Amino acid sequence: MAKQKCPECEECLPAWLAAFGDLMSLLLCFFVLLLSMSSMDAKKVSEAIGSLSGAMSVLEGGTQTEISAQRMLEATPIDSQDETSDTVNRIKQAAGDANEMMEQSQTPTITVREAQDGFVIKMPAALLFKPGSATIENQDALLFLKRVALIIEALPQDMRVDAQGYTDNVKPGADSPFKDNWELSSARAIAVVHELILDGVAPKRLSATGFSQYNPIATNATKIGREKNRRVELHFYGKKNTEKSKVGKSILDKTAGTK
């Protein structure tokens, strides 16, 4: 009896090709994971798409085919709010450092708050001056003002600082060189301005105002309240544009015109 021939086995893929396929699949998964975890710059992607579409003359604006530094500069908005927030954070850090140094002396703390047109640094009068005096003698306060001056110098040149002096409703003592709280509050504000000028701030960026006892933040009926009311505040604000007001007629001009 003739021996039957064994049927030929079907040809299958080589063993190395299966391993190679597994490797490619793993590499694909690896790069997909990398892409999912990466962050993309939307502005640069937009510029690249615009350049590509311009080169292919497909979309509007296709003539701009280069990603130039000038175009990127023009397309980047200047976020003044972020700059202001960064400045406030630096001021808060400086105030926190000063408060830590003065913690043992139990001196009232420096506070920083944001305002509608900038921000405000509030410094207790007890930190800066002796009762009835307008001379800054506290070394910690002088160091803090030096740090404030450095921050002011780093701000845009149109940023202005107004030093505002406040008192409680108690008149200066007989030993004080000031006859009333108007003189005392103004002199204290001017003393802070002078110190900032000595620390390198341009005088044209500074101003001083005295409010006497007429803008209290607490009651004058208690010792703690009076202590809170005695303060000097540094108000940071942008230079207001007065060109529009110059164009319009003033009240006096209108009155003269009606005659």
Task: Tell whether 89 and 59 lie within a shared domain.
Answer: no
Q: Do 104 and 164 meet the contact criterion of CB atoms below 8 Å apart?
A: no
For residue 56, is it within any domain? Answer: yes
The verdict on 71 and 85 lying in the same domain is no
Least confident piece of the model among 25-29, 84-88, 110-114: 84-88
Domain end residue (candidates: 75, 92, 111): 75
- From 43-57, 201-215, 228-242, the region with the lowest mean pLDDT: 43-57
Same domain, 59 and 87: no
Predicted local confidence at residue 182, as pLDDT: 96
Question: Does the pLDDT at position 35 exceed 80?
Answer: no
Same domain, yes or no: 149 and 222? yes
Buried (b) or exposed (e) across 91-120, using 16+ Cβ within 10 A? Answer: bbebbeebbeebeeeebbebebeeeeebbb
Please give the tally of structural domains in the chain. 2
CB neighbourhood size of 131 (10 A): 12
Residue 10 lies in a domain: no
Last residue of a domain, one of 45, 75, 105: 75
Nearest one of 133, 134, 132, 159 to 148, comparing CA atoms: 159
Residues 168 and 189 in one domain: yes
Host domain of residue 199? 80-243
